[in-house]
């Protein structure tokens, strides 16, 4: 039985526990001895080669990759906070419109939309006179549309956050 390449490699790397057997075979077998010298020369050549400097440090790529996976949940949390802040702003903006629109609901269910607009216009005029604000040329219809638009936006934001919250919770688990 001749020595395998694996045995010779292990012998050169000093990672064998059959050292004596290998040495014995190398002394008695010319064929394996020749293969051993070839392998030894190859090892010496490889050792004599200069260590080439990599153009890019690959270790940094792995380091940033690890950081990225750690930072991802943090980034997602920030997004949720940003969305919550936006929703809060939208709600604050829409509050004056909601408070003026909601009292009109009872009237709207009983009377015609025309009366609704008229009453809204009256409340708008009342608020103008009580607050002593300079008259702003604005129709009640755009106000009504704006309030419902903002209400819808606020609703979308709330749903968005709630959805993201569920998504995050699933990712953490
Ligand atoms: Zn042999």
Cα–ligand 1 centroid distance for 48 (angstroms)? 28
Summarize pLDDT for 135-163 with one digit per residue, the tens.
556 656 666 677 777 888 888 888 888 78
- For the ranges 39-48, 110-119, 153-162, which has the lowest average pLDDT? 110-119
The alpha-carbon radius of gyration of the chain (Å, integer) is 40
* pLDDT mean across residues, the chain: 77
Q: How far apart are CA 15 and CA 1, in angstroms?
A: 20
Q: Find out whether 165 and 80 touch, Cβ atoms under 8 Å.
A: yes
Chain-centre distance for alpha carbon 33? 60
- Residues ≥6 apart with Cβ < 8 Å to 122: none
Cα–ligand 1 centroid distance for 26 (angstroms)? 7
pLDDT at 60 over 60: yes
Cα–ligand 1 centroid distance for 4 (angstroms)? 9
pLDDT score, position 109: 58
**What is the average per-residue pLDDT within 101-109?**
59
Cα–ligand 1 centroid distance for 114 (angstroms)? 108
Chain-centre distance for alpha carbon 168? 10
Cα–ligand 1 centroid distance for 22 (angstroms)? 9
Q: How far apart are CA 51 and CA 53, in angstroms?
A: 6
The token pair that represents 166 in the structure block: 């569920």
Cα–ligand 1 centroid distance for 13 (angstroms)? 19
Label residue 52 by pLDDT band (50, 70, 90).
confident
- Residues ≥6 apart with Cβ < 8 Å to 105: none
Cα–ligand 1 centroid distance for 45 (angstroms)? 24
* Residue-wise DSSP of 46-68: HHHS--PPPSS-HHHHHHHHHHH
What's the pTM?
0.32
3-class secondary-structure state, position 155: helix
């Amino acid at each position: 039985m001749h020595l395998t390449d694996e045995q010779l490699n292990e012998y050169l790397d000093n990672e064998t526990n059959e050292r004596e057997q290998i040495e014995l075979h190398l002394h008695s077998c010319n064929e394996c001895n020749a293969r051993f010298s070839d392998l030894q020369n190859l090892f010496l050549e490889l050792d004599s080669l200069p260590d080439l400097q990599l153009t890019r440090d690959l270790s940094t790529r792995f380091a940033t990759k690890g950081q990225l996976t750690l930072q991802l949940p943090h980034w997602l949390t920030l997004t949720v906070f940003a969305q919550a802040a936006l929703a809060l702003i939208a709600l604050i903006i829409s509050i004056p419109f909601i408070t003026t629109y909601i009292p009109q609901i009872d009237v709207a269910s009983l009377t015609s939309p025309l009366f609704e607009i008229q009453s809204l216009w009256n409340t708008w005029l009342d608020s103008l006179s009580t607050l002593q604000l300079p008259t702003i040329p604005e129709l009640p219809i755009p106000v009504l549309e704006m309030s419902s638009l903002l209400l819808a936006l606020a609703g979308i934001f709330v749903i968005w956050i709630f959805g993201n919250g569920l998504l995050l919770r699933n990712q953490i688990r």
